[in-house]
Structure 1
Amino acid sequence: MLRNDMRLLTHLRHVDLAVPDYDKQLDFYAGVWGLTKVAEDSGISFLAAEGSPEQYVVRLRKAEEKRLDLISYGAATPADVDTLAERLLAGGVQLISRPGRADTPGGGHAFRFFDVDGRTVEVSADVAARQHRRIEEKEAIPVRLSHVVLNSPDLERTRQWYERHLDFALSDTLNSPQAGDVLHFMRINRRHHSMGLAKGPHTSLHHISFEMRGLDEYMRGSGRVMRAGHRKLWGPGRHLAGDNAFTYFLDPHGNTVEYTTELEELDEDTWHPHVYDFSKPEVTDQWGTANAMNELIAKESFNDVDRGVFIAPPV
């Protein structure tokens, strides 16, 4: 594993989805979910969070098959992007593109590659910042993208790949007496996790999480989505690992999306990962306010088999 002072990723930028019913998905994310459409061109749209300097946090692309197009992370400089690309090549990682000018809002210097499960990952630097603003009290829209959780059929292999090649560090693990390790929380900065890796039957997206201003805004937003008739999977509650609030919903195509707030920030020099027993209700929800986690809820977040594995998105 790389030393922390050699870590080249800085933060999560955006998550890109391909969707069969494009108009319905766009209405959801730019409507009740509270993102802002900032650009659109022939079946592809870019959605920003008002409190984030990222040009966009979700990209939607009209496609015949539902898939995760890519996950994008930031690096500090173009030189870091180039260095990471060379490291990955030397480590036998399959590059989709070499570092070069990004043809997306904000531009930048970027490249793409496949992770061990065949997901497309992008790393970029020098992306122009979007003019953003402070989210006001009682304004129940996402401040920023919080994290993404991915399903993997070989949890330990995927964890080790991200540690070795991208210098993710383990924050905490959920474990059950029956199933063993079921979820690893992985970080690239002080935030408890930018990515989670979940044990699933196939490679797919588990959920995308959006940070709200605070607990009041998180509850108001959760209530708005519930009143709009979208299916609530789980919540409201508060996890033990990460200490963040959660409410999970299904978007119109069955992707799980989360409102969260108050995710823990760690002292990376002194932090030691915990192993929490996922079967204990106080681990999944400290408050005791969420509906009980069960197999049906878990299966919803397994999502459909991702049809984009080891197939680069067209854009």
Structure 2
Amino acid sequence: MTDRLITHLRHVDLAVPDYARQLEFYTTLWGLTPVAEDKDVVFLAAEGSPEQYVVRLRKDTDKRLDLISYGAASRDDVDTLAERLGTAGVQLVSEPDRLQTAGGGYGFRFFDIDGRTIDISAEVENRVHRRIEEKEAIPVRLSHVVINSPDVTRTQSFYEEHLGFALSDTLIHPYVGELMKFMRCNPQHHSLAIAKAPHTSVHHVSFEMRGLDEYLRGTGRLLRAGTRMIWGPGRHLAGDNTFSYFVDPHGNTVEYTTELELLDEDSWHPSLHDVSDPNVQDQWGTANPFDELVGQETFNDPDPGCFVAPPL
């Protein structure tokens, strides 16, 4: 798409009741690095990523998604997106302005069609990052986020029409219909996916590992620590990426992945993948079957943050 102004996924911000427990999980076990902390809020970076942070945790009485943040190439692109969204009747949470968060920058926020707060920013200073070494089983970067929606087609249309996302592939079931839409804002197969669910919530947040060995070492570390893995290890067909899905202390699903497919956008044509074919869900055949119980885990709790902007 020639007028696509979104460039990439920056970070996912979560609010959690048991702040200390979540912080321990994401640092000691998951492998993220605290780079800034204030009263009841912490910013967590991935050592291999130039983003200032990839996860923000904030203490709250409610578990909720605070926001999903995407990058744009320039201040002008941020202004153009804000003007387009406002003209189209999309509710802006804030107007474009200088950012006060780490790395500075320029951005604004709005509610998507389901009420999630979305953040768009540009000119954020890159963080000094490093090469992840062989056998170092910590996340390189944030890979993608999957959101739950009671109306997948409506949510897909919003992201296509207003933000320039493109459809990469669709998961279907012969009796249920469309289950998941994989959406891209760059050649990566998906930075966003939209899953069919009974309510609006986070489906999972995915983190890229250095390679297969590091992915398996990280998976093993979580298993040895007693963290519950709900699905994996395996390799999907759509996106061709590996997967190990775990549940964090507040019931959010998080994923270790690697080798997510990069597409030639000029020649790519979306496919329909039938999940009743076991090879679609897991090409290796090593993961436990994706059954109704696994599906219920990824539904997560209904998000009380819809159309309610986070306090920061």
**Same fold by TM (over 0.5)?**
yes
* Paired position in structure 2 for 1:154: 151
* Paired position in structure 2 for 1:82: 79
* Paired position in structure 2 for 1:287: 284
Of 10, 21, 25, the match for 1:24:
21
* TM-score, scaled to structure 2: 1.00
* Paired position in structure 1 for 2:44: 47
Q: 2:96 is matched by which residue type in structure 1? A: P
SS of equivalent residue, structure 1 residue 162: helix
Task: Report how far residue 153 of structure 1 moved.
Answer: 0.2
How far apart, CA to CA, are the structure 1 residues paired with 2:276 and 2:10? 32
Task: Report how far residue 102 of structure 1 moved.
Answer: 1.0
Sequence identity percentage: 69
Of 101, 106, 109, the match for 1:109:
106
What do residues 7-53 of structure 1 show as CA deviations (whole Å, max 9, x unaligned)? 00000000000000000000000111000000000000000000000
* Paired position in structure 2 for 1:120: 117
* Paired position in structure 1 for 2:268: 271
* Aligned pairs (5 A) from 1:3-14: 4-14=1-11
Runs of 4+ in 1 over 6 A off after TM superposition: none
Of 66, 69, 72, the match for 2:66:
69
* Paired position in structure 2 for 1:227: 224
What do residues 148-193 of structure 1 show as CA deviations (whole Å, max 9, x unaligned)? 0000001100000100000100000000011100000000000000
* Paired position in structure 1 for 2:252: 255
How far apart, CA to CA, are the structure 2 residues paired with 1:129 and 1:31? 24
What do residues 219-255 of structure 1 show as CA deviations (whole Å, max 9, x unaligned)? 0000001111111000000000000000000000000
SS of equivalent residue, structure 1 residue 181: strand
* Paired position in structure 2 for 1:139: 136
Task: Report how far residue 117 of structure 1 moved.
Answer: 0.1
How far apart, CA to CA, are the structure 2 residues paired with 1:32 and 1:189? 30
Task: Report how far residue 6 of structure 1 moved.
Answer: 0.6
What do residues 182-212 of structure 1 show as CA deviations (whole Å, max 9, x unaligned)? 0000000000000000000000000000000
How far apart, CA to CA, are the structure 1 residues paired with 2:101 and 2:276? 43
How far apart, CA to CA, are the structure 1 residues paired with 2:21 and 2:153? 36
* Paired position in structure 2 for 1:307: 304
Task: Report how far residue 103 of structure 1 moved.
Answer: 1.5
Q: 2:132 is matched by which residue type in structure 1? A: I
How far apart, CA to CA, are the structure 2 residues paired with 1:28 and 1:62? 14
Of 179, 183, 188, the match for 2:180:
183
Task: Report how far residue 279 of structure 1 moved.
Answer: 1.3
Q: 1:223 is matched by which residue type in structure 2? A: G
SS of equivalent residue, structure 1 residue 163: helix
Q: 1:234 is matched by which residue type in structure 2? A: W
How far apart, CA to CA, are the structure 1 residues paired with 2:99 and 2:174? 46
SS of equivalent residue, structure 1 residue 299: helix
Number of corresponding residues: 312
How far apart, CA to CA, are the structure 1 residues paired with 2:221 and 2:107? 37
SS of equivalent residue, structure 1 residue 235: strand
SS of equivalent residue, structure 2 residue 299: coil
Task: Report how far residue 5 of structure 1 moved.
Answer: 1.4
* TM-score, scaled to structure 1: 0.99
Of 235, 238, 242, the match for 2:235:
238
Task: Report how far residue 305 of structure 1 moved.
Answer: 0.5
RMSD over aligned Cα atoms: 0.4
How far apart, CA to CA, are the structure 2 residues paired with 1:35 and 1:28? 9
Query: What are structure 1's unaligned runs of at least 5 residues?
Result: none
How far apart, CA to CA, are the structure 2 residues paired with 1:206 and 1:30? 21
Q: 1:122 is matched by which residue type in structure 2? A: D
